[in-house]
């Protein structure tokens, strides 16, 4: 249970971090952010990086601020930054505070980062679900430049993303939500703080008594979190309530391709998908 040896680098500037990463990435050099996924993987020797580029001391990466109509979350912003809903972030702030309490435990949230979660891409990551449901954009940087990756192109299966080994996820940009947007999150697992077996995040607006612009995202069910257009179609134009919410749940269960593990067969996750979607919708309406 002891990590294998590695060389440690603690750059102070983004340029230095990116230069180092370009050098060490070809030899399985990696970024160390909160360490709350990487260090356990190293303890199990599932990961044996030869170099770690610790970004915790890099100036400017802790930026958490509104840029126009998005919330920009820098690479070293911890999960715990979202414990209390910041009124300046409006509905999005409330949504993030609702979701964050389901991520691991308090002392893990003081270290772990949102960008680290997005880079790690566990199928049951709450932040990955949030990013895809809201349509976030990832800002990836290398020593040579930067590119923006929409969430829809970013997740590529279990623990796999569009990021290249020499790319640092410098920032995630989450769209702010219009005042009055309803949001609901529901997660099922067996112990507090565990990874979700299944979860759903939903947002919608109500226009003339009908649901509009429904976003339905599921996580923990398939290899990557994703939106479910069939469930959204079952909601848009309908009156918010039990009938529409259950229809959206059913529509989800009908189309998912669930992952399996030793304790949870695919059929279980399929049923669960319907339940988490309808419960997230009920919470949004409450």
Partner 1 sequence: MTDTVAITLNINGEDHRVSVEPRRTLADTIRDDCGKTGTHIGCEHGVCGSCTIILDGEPVRSCLMFAVQADGRKLRTVEGLAKGNQLHPIQQAFIDNHGLQCGFCTPGFLMLATSVLEKEPDIADADLLDALSSNLCRCTGYQNIIKAVRQAAIEMRGAGK
Ligand X SMILES: Cc1cc2nc3c(=O)[nH]c(=O)nc-3n(C[C@H](O)[C@H](O)[C@H](O)COP(=O)(O)OP(=O)(O)OC[C@H]3O[C@@H](n4cnc5c(N)ncnc54)[C@H](O)[C@@H]3O)c2cc1C
Count of CA atoms in the C-beta half-sphere (13 A) of 219: 31
Given the complex with ligand X, which of 30 and 182 has the nearer CB atom?
30
Q: Does 73 bind ligand X (CB under 6 A)?
A: no
Contact 93/116 with Cβ under 8 angstroms? no
12-28 burial string, b = 16+ CB within 10 Å, else e? Answer: eebeebbebbbebbeee
What is the chain's Cα-based Rg?
Answer: 19
Q: Does 271 bind partner 1 (CB under 8 A)?
A: no
- By a kind-dependent CB cut-off of 5 to 8 A, residue 6 interacts, out of partner 1, ligand X, none, with partner 1
Contacts of 246 (CB under 8 A, 6+ apart): 274, 278
Q: Does 259 bind partner 1 (CB under 8 A)?
A: no
Q: Which of 35, 184, 217, 220 binds partner 1 (CB under 8 A)?
A: 35
Contact 169/118 with Cβ under 8 angstroms? yes
Q: Looking at 35-43, 195-203, 229-237, 270-278, which segment touches partner 1 (CB under 8 A)?
A: 35-43
Q: Which of 13, 26, 28, 40 binds partner 1 (CB under 8 A)?
A: 40
Reference 116, options 86, 159, 147; nearest CA is 159
Given the complex with ligand X, which of 193 and 265 has the nearer CB atom?
193
Q: Does 64 bind ligand X (CB under 6 A)?
A: no
Q: Which of 44, 212, 239, 243 binds partner 1 (CB under 8 A)?
A: 44
Query: Using CB under 8 A, which residues numbered 156 to 185 contact partner 1?
Result: none
Backbone angles phi, psi at 219, to 5 degrees: -140, 155
Q: Is 75 exposed, middle or buried (0-12, 13-18, 19+ CB in 10 A)?
A: buried
Q: Looking at 63-71, 93-101, 162-170, 230-238, which segment touches ligand X (CB under 6 A)?
A: 162-170
Residue identified by tokens 């040896």 is 5
Residue-by-residue DSSP string for 161-213: BS--TT-EEEEEEEEP--TT-EEEEEEE-SSTTSPPSEEEEEEEEEETTEEEE
Task: Give the nearest distance from C-beta 143 to ligand X in angstroms.
Answer: 14
Question: Rounded distance, CA 162 to CA 56, Å?
Answer: 23
- By a kind-dependent CB cut-off of 5 to 8 A, residue 116 interacts, out of partner 1, ligand X, none, with ligand X
- By a kind-dependent CB cut-off of 5 to 8 A, residue 99 interacts, out of partner 1, ligand X, none, with none
Query: Using CB under 8 A, which residues numbered 54 to 93 contact partner 1?
Result: 54, 56, 80
Q: Does 161 bind ligand X (CB under 6 A)?
A: no
Residue numbers at the binding site for partner 1 (CB under 8 A): 1-8, 10, 35-36, 39-40, 42-44, 52, 54, 56, 80, 101, 104-108, 110-111, 192-193
Residue numbers at the binding site for ligand X (CB under 6 A): 30-38, 40, 75, 103-104, 108, 112-113, 115-117, 119-120, 122, 125-126, 163, 168-169, 193, 195
């Amino acid at each position: 249970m002891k990590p294998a040896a590695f060389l440690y680098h603690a750059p102070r500037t983004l340029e230095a971090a990116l230069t180092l990463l370009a050098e060490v990435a070809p030899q399985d050099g990696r970024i160390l952010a909160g360490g709350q996924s990487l260090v356990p993987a190293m303890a199990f020797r599932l990961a044996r990086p030869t170099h770690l580029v610790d970004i915790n001391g890099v100036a400017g990466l802790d930026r958490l601020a509104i840029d126009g109509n998005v919330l920009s979350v820098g690479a070293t912003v911890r999960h715990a930054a979202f414990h209390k809903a910041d009124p300046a972030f409006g509905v999005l702030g409330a949504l993030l505070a609702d979701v964050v309490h389901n991520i691991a435990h308090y002392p893990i949230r003081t270290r772990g980062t949102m960008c680290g979660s997005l880079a790690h891409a566990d199928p049951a990551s709450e932040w990955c679900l949030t990013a895809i449901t809201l349509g976030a954009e990832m800002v990836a940087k290398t020593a040579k430049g930067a590119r923006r990756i929409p969430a829809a192109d970013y997740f590529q299966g279990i623990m796999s993303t569009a990021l290249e080994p020499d790319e640092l996820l410098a920032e995630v940009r989450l769209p702010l939500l219009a005042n009055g947007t309803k949001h609901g999150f529901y997660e099922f697992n067996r112990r507090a703080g565990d990874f979700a077996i299944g979860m759903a995040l939903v947002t919608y607006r109500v226009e003339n008594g009908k649901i509009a612009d429904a976003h339905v995202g599921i996580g923990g069910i398939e290899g990557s979190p994703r939106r479910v257009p069939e469930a959204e179609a079952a909601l848009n134009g309908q009156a918010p309530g039990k009938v529409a919410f259950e229809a959206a749940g059913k529509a989800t269960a009908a189309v998912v391709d669930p992952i399996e593990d030793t304790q949870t067969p695919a059929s279980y996750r399929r049923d669960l998908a319907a339940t988490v979607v309808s419960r997230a919708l009920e919470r949004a309406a409450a």
